[in-house]
Amino acid sequence: MDTVLDRVCPSCGNTCMPDGRFCLFCGDLLPESDLRAFAWPGTTATMTDSPTAAPVPPEFAGFWLRFWAAVIDMVLECVTALLLTVALHYGLRWFGARHGVTPATSAFFLGMAFILILAVGAWLYAALMESSAWGATIGKRLLGLRVVTSFGKQLSFGQATIRHVMKFLSLFTATVGFMMAGWTKRRQALHDLPLDCLVIRVPRVSISLFRR
């Protein structure tokens, strides 16, 4: 019974799923995969539909580019959540003065509100931006990055949501999941692997940042 069940990755030697298109351990594209033709967004590189020809992938974004893009996005998310919480604070102070809400209760409520606003806001921000025509958050766009599927297609809102939720896996592995973008062959982090997403480099934007 030594058939496709013993399929191994040529790059790292680990056993792979028989119907998989990429290695779950190193992120490399498996040679038996169906490499369909498509044009990569913002690049001239294309994949070939010939099963024997080698693919011509774009330039993948490494760990540090993705790290600084994430820092920019995190600052934007935190500042936005803080501003909304401050606005909520003034509303709650007005409400509390008329209904006897104690300062301790207000502080607890504001703390929980900040966490909720940050969590929901980060999800909507990432999912909406990465499933948009940009294919990237503001931080990624400023650094010339774009998130696509393994076939160069735009992510759907559902795919972008799953990718965002999967970041908790990268976080709960003592951030090793994030650091995988530094050594996997296609520079994929752990949260990129379940849906086989890629972060590629495209021409940077300048004053045309908010143009489609």
52-73 tens-digit pLDDT = 444 455 789 989 999 999 999 9
Is 15 contained in some domain? no
Is 211 contained in some domain? no
Q: Could you tell me the residue range of the domain that residue 149 belongs to?
A: 63-201
pLDDT tens-place string over residues 117-167: 999 999 999 999 999 999 999 999 999 999 998 888 899 999 999 999 999
Is 169 contained in some domain? yes
Is 5 contained in some domain? no
pTM exceeds 0.85: no
Instruction: Please count the structural domains in the chain.
Output: 1
Count the neighbouring beta carbons within 10 Å of the beta carbon of residue 90.
9
The contacts of residue 71 (CB under 8 Å, 6+ apart) are 139
Is 188 contained in some domain? yes
Tokens 């949260």 found at: 191
What HEC string does 12-29 produce?
CCCECCCCCCECCCCCCE
